Amino acid sequence: MNQMSLLTALRDLLGEAGLRVGLASGGTEEDLSAFEKDWRGRYQGRALAVASPSNTEQVAAVVRLCAAHGVSIVPQGGNTGLVGGGVPDASGSQILLSLRRLHAVCELDEANLTLTVEAGCSLQAVQEAAAEKGLLFPLSLASEGSCTIGGNLASNAGGTQVLRYGNARELCLGLEVVTASGDIWSGLSGLRKDNTGYDLRHLFIGSEGTLGIITAATLKLYPAPKAQLTALATCADLNATVALLALAQAQVGASLTAFELMNDAAMTLLRRHLPQLVQPLAPSPWTVLLELSDSENEAHAQAQLEQLLSEAVDRGLVQDAAVAQSLAQSHTMWQLRESISMAQSKEGLNIKHDIALPVSRIPAFVAATDAALRAAFPGVRLITFGHLGDGNLHYNVQAPEGVSAAEFLATQEPAINRLVYDAVQQFGGSISAEHGIGQLKREELAQRKDPVALALMRSIKSALDPQGVFNPGRLL
């Protein structure tokens, strides 16, 4: 393989603005540092170059050139992933393909309630384009100002409103994808019914850039709600939070758009590192954040929420509650939930687990796993929060007070992961709910995924990317 020949061809194709050459090929290390390191700082790679096409045809041409030269490609959107799936390896021989220049909002079809955008469009830009027409794109993540819609779809992102609207998969009606052969599949129809064979979009959604490169998407929109109300409630134990969720679903149905969970250890870190974030309720073992969206009016939503909380208090499910009286108060409540990861980061490195469980089994899982971890690692701090409404917990393990966080991570992570993931399997869960597999959980997946499912996944990879051009060493 002649790397210089490839780089020359890429520069001719993309121009100076579209190609940045790495240290391995005579560039400077600073050129690519923002692309080569993942958001959490766990993975640091080295790329041959960063290619930044400005349209789908250029993406396809880059793929053809790399395939002809035997060079693999790592697709990257906003580089906000948490499992090391969007950064190059350390070889200095991979092309990092950035989709950031493909950021156009292409078409908003109000009658069809669809929005077509390029893959490099940020999630926030998608939300804003919908909102300008009084519509809602409900995918919502803490990183929405930086993450891109292509990355959201490639990882099948979840977020805070999965309970009502589903994952990214449920919000996508069509895709445009560049295949490993450099062909362009244009499937951007806004059809909600199309029964003409295999639904190819679902192969690429959640495939973490291993099967094809998503370059555009047609997304599903909703009428914006007339009112949104947010509340915090405290509960004595997890069984009460699960019972509160069931009561809310029974009373308000689809109006319940979010049901988030935070344990006292998480709230303690917020008080320590982000004291400016007001916590309106006294400390409690568990705090729930719930949100109602109403298609009628605010008074109707207010009445629903007050009735729900009143009955929950009468049943002994809720100790105390606070309802946001303004948009600013609602924003502050959401900041508490969305700032836990930042507070953990300020506390030091931690061992993260993005897991899914049947909601009914979460109390038993947490009780058993908490006890096992505390017995095996005395003093360990368990930071548990997440999307209780859809069974997705961020079950994070922080070093004991006074213990080096970095040393704890380096020495104890394998044993802690084994204990946690064994428990997840025992209780019928998944080792990845919304973050994906990437590099971080690749070996765990190989050990824990059903062998028949793994064989089918490898067959699909072999069929769609026989040369292994796309994101090798990730997922499989």
Task: Give the pLDDT score at 26.
Answer: 59
* Beta partners for residue 175, in sequence order: 187, 217
Q: Which residues of 188-221 are buried (b: 16+ CB within 10 A; e: fewer)?
A: bebeeeeeeeeebbebbbbbbbbbbbbbbbbbbb
* Ordered domains of the chain (ranges, CATH): 3-98 (3.30.43.10), 105-223 (3.30.465.10), 227-341 (3.30.70.2190), 348-448 (3.30.70.2740)
Angle (CA) 176-182-188 rounded to 5° is 10
CA distances from 72 to 22, 96, 97, 329, 461 (A): 15, 9, 10, 48, 14
| Secondary structure class of 306 (helix, strand, coil) | helix
Give phi and psi for 135, each to the nearest 5. Answer: -115, 170
**Angstrom distance (rounded) from CA 122 to CA 128:** 10
**Angstrom distance (rounded) from CA 330 to CA 308:** 18
Q: Note if the pTM is more than 0.85.
A: yes
| Secondary structure class of 293 (helix, strand, coil) | strand
Task: Give the pLDDT score at 1.
Answer: 53
How crowded is residue 446: how many other Cβ atoms within 10 Å of its Cβ? Answer: 12
Q: Which residues of 344-354 are buried (b: 16+ CB within 10 A; e: fewer)?
A: beebebbbbbb
Task: Give the pLDDT score at 254.
Answer: 87
Sites in the chain below the pLDDT cut of 50: none
What is the per-residue DSSP string for 207-233?
A: STTSS-EEEEEEEE-EEPPSEEEEEEE
**Angstrom distance (rounded) from CA 230 to CA 90:** 45
Which of 474, 476, 471 lies closest to 97, judged by CA?
A: 471
Task: Give the pLDDT score at 86.
Answer: 93
Give phi and psi for 222, each to the nearest 5. Answer: -135, 155
403-461 residue pLDDT tens? 999 999 999 999 999 999 999 999 999 999 999 999 989 999 999 999 999 999 999 99
Judging by DSSP bridges, how do beta strands 94-98 and 73-76 pair with one another?
parallel
Task: Give the pLDDT score at 202.
Answer: 95
